[in-house]
Amino acid sequence: MEFNLGDSPVTSHSWNGNRSQIAVIPNSNEVHIYKYEPNLSDWTLLDNLDQHGLLITGIDWAPNTNRIVTCSADRNAYVWTIDDKGKWKPTLVLLRISRAATCVKWSPNEKKFAVGSGAQLISVCYFEVENDWWVSKHIKKPIRSTVTALDWHPNNMVLATGTADFRVRLFNVHMKEVDQCQKVKTAWDSDDTSVPNLVAEFTNSSRGGGWIHGLAFNKNGDRLCWVAHDSSITVADVSKGSIFVNKLKTNELPFISCIWVTDRAIVAAGHGCCPMLYCIDTNNKVQFVSKIDCSQKKEAAGLSAMRKFQSLDRQARINSDYELDTKHQNTLTCLRIHSESNDTVTKFTSSGLDGKIILWELNSLDKLLQGLKI
């Protein structure tokens, strides 16, 4: 199912808890909230969140508390809540950063969220009841570059970060103000305690490697996947007690985002304009399964090579009827889970620079994985 909510590129999007509304960033300083109208088979614009002064770079919608958090190049973050009149109201978060915020993510229990930035630090924010405002604590060492991606472990304590220095780092961000339990040692923890709160660090090969674009924990939290600008997809696995890292260098264009659709299957997408399915086999190796987009190449109005040259000769430009053989016609910027059944993702959405948001169904996922050694 394909949605066109405007002419602007979609930087990112996020769903509410029951998937009846969607928040879209149209590559600007605004967030558009849409609601699906089944009777009209169309989307209706409900609200426009325009508090930020510069481009919004990240958004996340908490499904249980129904709060939206946004961050921007203006170095601010806002937590949005609905008032009695059904209007979204912003609350400023003091990030205390000197450069643009780049990404944001709620923790699973929705009591805190993390914001990455170009200031070589992460702001972990929580609500201080006594003063009735959102405050932040910084994670600085050993980050030496822009934070490009974030994801939380299911235990709410471990935060995975990807940076532009080719590294993925895991931090223990236990906060006594909102976390009731004590610090818990996980399978990700290393014996190196030279850097406080650093749980683990992985290098995405500084020679011929690339900065990290996106990362995600699986539902159990024993596998972490990340995609980088060297067109690679990497999985770190602690399911057997020790950390095992496997990297697959693909021939595709670089991926931007990745999500887990089962405990062993991953969907990644980016500059190639097509979601790709990968899986983890019994040897913990990453292997390609198939393309999710099975569209046929379009030949609009009988386009041919001769017509291209004729158009170029007459108008000094190539005929604009040319289209890619994928539903998305430009880079995919964000993947989001839409529906799940028995810990398996059945539907997910993608947004792209072509202004489209597409809902993908994975009804034949078992068939695609059948016969593979997983």
Predicted confidence at residue 299, as pLDDT, reads 45
pLDDT tens sequence across 354-368 = 999 999 998 777 666
Residue of 356, 307, 357, 322 whose CA lies nearest to 348: 357
143-147, 305-309, 326-330: least confident range: 305-309
| Tokens, residue 253 | 């264009």
Predicted confidence at residue 153, as pLDDT, reads 95
- What mean pLDDT is reported for the chain? 87
Give the CA angle between residues 193, 194, 196 to the nearest 5°: 70
* DSSP per-residue string spanning 71-118: EETTS-EEEEEE-TTS-EEEEEE----SS-EEEEEE-TTSSEEEEEET
Residue 76 pLDDT > 70: yes
pLDDT tens sequence across 308-342 = 555 555 445 444 456 788 899 999 999 999 999 88
211-215, 294-298, 306-310, 333-337: least confident range: 306-310
Backbone angles phi, psi at 371, to 5 degrees: 90, -15
How far apart are alpha carbons 43 and 27 in whole angstroms? 19
Give the CA angle between residues 13, 360, 321 to the nearest 5°: 85
Residue 6 pLDDT > 90: no
Where residue 300 falls among pLDDT bands split at 50, 70, 90?
very low
142-147 average pLDDT score: 95
| Tokens, residue 207 | 């020679």
10-19, 111-120, 251-260, 357-366: least confident range: 357-366
Predicted confidence at residue 183, as pLDDT, reads 65
Asked if residue 354 lies in contact with residue 3, where contact means CB atoms within 8 angstroms, the answer is no
250-272 average pLDDT score: 95
> Looking up tokens 């040692």, which residue turns up?
185
Per the DSSP assignment, residues forming a β-bridge with 203 are: 167
96-113 average pLDDT score: 96
- Taking the CA of residue 42 as centre, how many other CA atoms within 13 Å lie in the half-sphere pointing to its CB? 5
| pTM for the whole structure | 0.89
**Per CATH, the architecture of 2-369 is what?**
7 Propeller (2.130)
CB atoms within 10 A of CB 147: 27
Burial 252-261 (b: 16+ CB within 10 A, else e): bebbbbbbbb
Asked if residue 152 lies in contact with residue 107, where contact means CB atoms within 8 angstroms, the answer is yes
Residue 41 pLDDT > 90: no
Eight-state DSSP code of residue 186: -
Predicted confidence at residue 301, as pLDDT, reads 44
Residue 298 pLDDT > 60: no
Asked if residue 291 lies in contact with residue 277, where contact means CB atoms within 8 angstroms, the answer is yes
Give the CA angle between residues 316, 317, 320 to the nearest 5°: 155
How far apart are alpha carbons 161 and 148 in whole angstroms? 8
- For 315, the enclosing helix (H) or strand (E) is helix 305-315
Residue 216 pLDDT > 50: yes
Q: What share of the chain is helix, strand, coil (3-state, %, to 5)?
A: 5, 45, 50
How far apart are alpha carbons 353 and 162 in whole angstroms? 22
Where residue 180 falls among pLDDT bands split at 50, 70, 90?
confident
Predicted confidence at residue 254, as pLDDT, reads 95
**Where are the chain's structural domains?**
2-369
Backbone angles phi, psi at 184, to 5 degrees: -115, 130
Residue 371 pLDDT > 70: no
